[in-house]
Structure 1
């Protein structure tokens, strides 16, 4: 039997609520949208690049966003030491190298990182700040992280929509 990415039911983003409810709801909506774009596809289909010369694939987006979740919520905001599953200093774009990737394992990594990101932000004030890891040393708030993550997902979900349409003609949502 051929493995396929699980089907999901996406929840609507909230129309009304306090700021935290809206930010959590919209971020979860975009997380679920990415998974919706992957739903029902085989590992081979998830590894299919968008269009030459780009190597961008749905699985590469899943891997990339797992690491972005870990970077902003866990490492930068919560100050946790993160062992990235794909990134290395020698190959910083390894998240997009899916030629031999295990799609089922990579989706599990994604789900784990989303859960850890949620835990890192739970109960913390949106006004709480941190200084970025790295040479720039910029100061950000947790609110900025949420807004940035929503933007990051929205941009990549546009890519995901086009990639999915190329694979099997499925569009929208």
Structure 2
């Protein structure tokens, strides 16, 4: 290797993700912090949904799937579908909120080693867990989840590769 500029730059012992976050003036990332990838966060979300949905399925003897039953939504008994959808969404919201307060992360995040902390490294407060739990509910809604999923992927891609 001669005296030339390397296309790879080392960012003070940190990761490229940390450098991108700091470069875009979001906040400073403490040393030793490893930012979680989107695929790891998606896997944690899937684990959480499987946990809660399995418990709901057992508790309702399989009736909670009526929240997604299109023919029930279109019938005169649609109020049952509304009730099951409310149970489904409320249970997930409570799960994310309460595990966040108790463990500072959900069980799926805990399994995959993802920690949720404030910018200064302190624990996340209750009102923020409320908002985080509510925001995750969007990804449980059919069709809406696809739109927001594609939007988040595009947003993440444009932040990671601003010149593309």
> Shorter-chain TM-score category?
under 0.3
Structure with the higher fraction of residues in helix conformation: 2
Rg bigger for which structure?
2
Bigger RCO (CA 8 Å, 6+ sep): 1
